[in-house]
Amino acid sequence: MEIDAAKCVGCGNCVPFCTMGAIRVENDVAVVNEDECVECSTCYRCCGPEGLRATFVRGLRRLFRALHLRYDAPLDVCPTGALVPPELKWPRSLRRAFSDPTVTHDSTGMAGRGTEEIKTNDITGRIGPGEAGIVIDLGRPGTGVFFRDIDTMTRALAQLDVFFEPQNPLTHLMNDPQNGSLRKDIANEKVLSAIIELKIKLADLPEVLHLVEKTATALDTVISVGVSTKCDPEGGIPHESICSGAGYPLSLNGKTNLGLGRPVEGMS
Ligand code: SF4
Ligand code: SF4
């Protein structure tokens, strides 16, 4: 995000809206830490321009200060419209693609993190009996994640017998899904979060989960992991006992998606 220093009056309204804590006010002007900014545009969307002239606002504040009063703009506006979403070039444009939920990923045609994950498996049938779908969610507001850390995880996973989901924007950024390496030119770009998706044999689940846990210790971010399998004919969850046996009891907060559509042929 860019801030027009000539317009900014340093009111600080945009500061608490920043998902990465990347905005600070110095000498009555807001400044963005460009390394930390993930171009999510939350500050811009939350602080609509009020359309006042900077000279007017500064004069008003000076007058009020002299009278021992105080003028503050409403909290959800940028009084002078000083926040300016910039034109982004590659590879910085990836920050916005992954971090601004209003932007659609070119690679998958989906907004947000660019994937339906495995939530729609009843319709897509990507994960079949005897298989497990895994999502590894890296980054969160306040921490974000660099692609170099995602690359560390994808390359580690590629050493096992895994299949990276093709309809996922991270898979599209791989040089070669066989070795899991991401493009080198994006390594130092940071995004709010991103999801690695893969399919494995159900029997390999403990090995994959242990590898994810071990690899995560080297990453400068937080991760959460989701596992998904098709229920068996009795309604049981095939991965439940496997995860518990491997030392990862399922969270009570897990999601269960029930028959959102017609099962694809052969998947019932
Ligand atoms: S675009 Fe997002 S990360 Fe960047 S300054 Fe605005 S809120 Fe913060
Ligand atoms: S809301 Fe606008 S005027 Fe206020 S500090 Fe942020 S950019 Fe500057």
Q: In a mutational test of the pocket of ligand 1, which residue from 1, 4, 93 has the highest number of ligand atoms less than 8 Å from its CB? A: 1
Distance CA 52, CA 99 (A): 29
**What are the extents of the domains in the chain?**
2-86, 103-246
For residue 117, the SS3 value is: coil
Residue 156, amino acid: A
Tokens of 77: 């506006």
pTM value is 0.90
Q: Which fold has domain 103-246?
A: Alpha-Beta Plaits (3.30.70)
Q: Which pLDDT tens digit goes with each residue over 43-69?
A: 999 999 988 898 988 888 889 888 988
Q: Which pLDDT tens digit goes with each residue over 173-223?
A: 999 989 999 999 999 999 999 999 999 999 999 999 999 999 999 999 999
Distance CA 44, CA 40 (A): 9
**Are 186 and 123 spatial neighbours (Cβ–Cβ below 8 Å)?**
no
How far is ligand 1, taken at its centre, from the CA of residue 40, in Å? Answer: 5
CATH architecture of structural domain 2-86: 2-Layer Sandwich (3.30)
**Are 230 and 238 spatial neighbours (Cβ–Cβ below 8 Å)?**
yes
